[in-house]
């Protein structure tokens, strides 16, 4: 669910519960100035609730179809709740509201109070649900963050392992180069010694031939 929508939803639930309490308490106010101030506060709150409803509607319609459908269904409940608040405010703020209350009797007062309590209870329940969803979202974010940290640590260890292996390969390459140089030097020395031995053998053969020739010619 969209965190933006949840933020608007939480604000609306708090505002709706507050408006319900104000409507309930406004009926008992007898001072005209206090009642006028209370009605002004309720009217401003209803305007603010309208703005939040519109914001939730825009946010819901900008999301994926699957999420959008569920949010719009929930939004219809909030719109119905706000319409009830508007009707209640209109009823208690009408010029004949006091006379209507007297005529309706105690039973009607209890009925209205029960309806307001139900609406207040529903708003509180929705607020609690929103709080739980926010907590769940935060928990998911923390778990994701912990998983990300674990993955980064694993990647760091793998990088260190690769660097260590690379250094070992570099050392092996250096040792191979040194071995090649030694073998090349030894090969050159062997070749040189071989030519020296061949030269000595040739010299000995020539010396033997000369000695034999000398003996034969003076024999």
The CA distance from 15 to 55, in Å, is: 14
- 105 in a structural domain: no
Q: Are residues 166 and 87 in the same domain?
A: yes
Q: Within its chain, how far is the Cα of 193 from the centroid?
A: 75
Residue from 218, 199, 217 nearest 207 by CA:
199
- Predicted confidence at residue 219, as pLDDT, reads 65
Burial class of residue 119, CB neighbours in 10 A (0-12, 13-18, 19+): buried
The answer on 194 and 140 residing in a single domain is no
In Å, how far are 71, 82, 151 from 116, measured between CA atoms?
25, 12, 52
Do 74 and 129 lie in one domain? The reply is yes
| Domain that residue 198 falls in | 187-218
pLDDT score of 104: 47
Does residue 73 sit in the same domain as residue 22? yes
**Measured distance CA(175)–CA(180) in Å, rounded:** 9
CA distance 91 to 99: 11
Q: 216 is written with which tokens?
A: 């034969």
For 181, 186, 193, 196, 202, the CA distances from 189, given in Å and listed in that order, are 12, 5, 6, 10, 20
Question: pTM of the prediction?
Answer: 0.46
At 27, which CATH number? 1.20.58.400
Spatial separation of the C-alpha atoms in residues 24 and 89, rounded to whole Å: 10
How much is the pLDDT for 26? 81
Same domain as 167, residue 194: no
pLDDT tens for the chain, 219 residues: list them.
678 999 999 999 999 999 988 888 887 777 888 888 888 899 999 999 999 999 999 999 998 888 888 899 999 999 999 999 999 888 888 765 544 444 444 444 455 556 666 766 676 677 667 667 767 766 775 677 777 777 877 788 888 888 887 788 778 778 788 878 888 888 888 888 889 889 899 888 888 898 888 888 876
Residue 107 placed within a domain: no
């Amino acid at each position: 669910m969209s965190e933006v929508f949840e933020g608007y939803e939480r604000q609306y639930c708090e505002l709706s519960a507050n408006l319900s309490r104000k409507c309930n308490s406004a009926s008992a106010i007898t001072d005209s100035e206090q009642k006028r101030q209370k009605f002004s506060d309720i009217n401003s709150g209803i305007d603010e609730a309208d703005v939040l409803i519109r914001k939730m509607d825009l946010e819901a319609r900008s999301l994926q179809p699957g999420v959008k459908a569920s949010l719009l269904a929930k939004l219809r409940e909030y719109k119905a709740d706000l319409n009830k608040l508007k009707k209640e405010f209109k009823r208690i703020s009408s010029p004949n509201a006091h006379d209507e209350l007297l005529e309706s009797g105690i039973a009607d007062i209890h009925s209205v109070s029960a309806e307001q309590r139900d609406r207040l209870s529903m708003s509180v329940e929705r607020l609690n649900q929103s709080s739980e969803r926010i907590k769940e979202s935060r928990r998911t974010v923390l778990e994701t963050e912990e998983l990300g940290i674990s993955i980064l640590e694993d990647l760091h260890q793998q990088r260190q392992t690769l660097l260590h292996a690379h250094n070992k390969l570099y050392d092996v390459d250096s040792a191979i180069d040194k071995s090649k140089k030694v073998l090349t030097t030894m090969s050159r020395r062997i070749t040189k010694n071989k030519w020296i031995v061949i030269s000595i053998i040739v010299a000995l053969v020539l010396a033997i031939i000369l000695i034999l020739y000398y003996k034969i010619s003076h024999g």
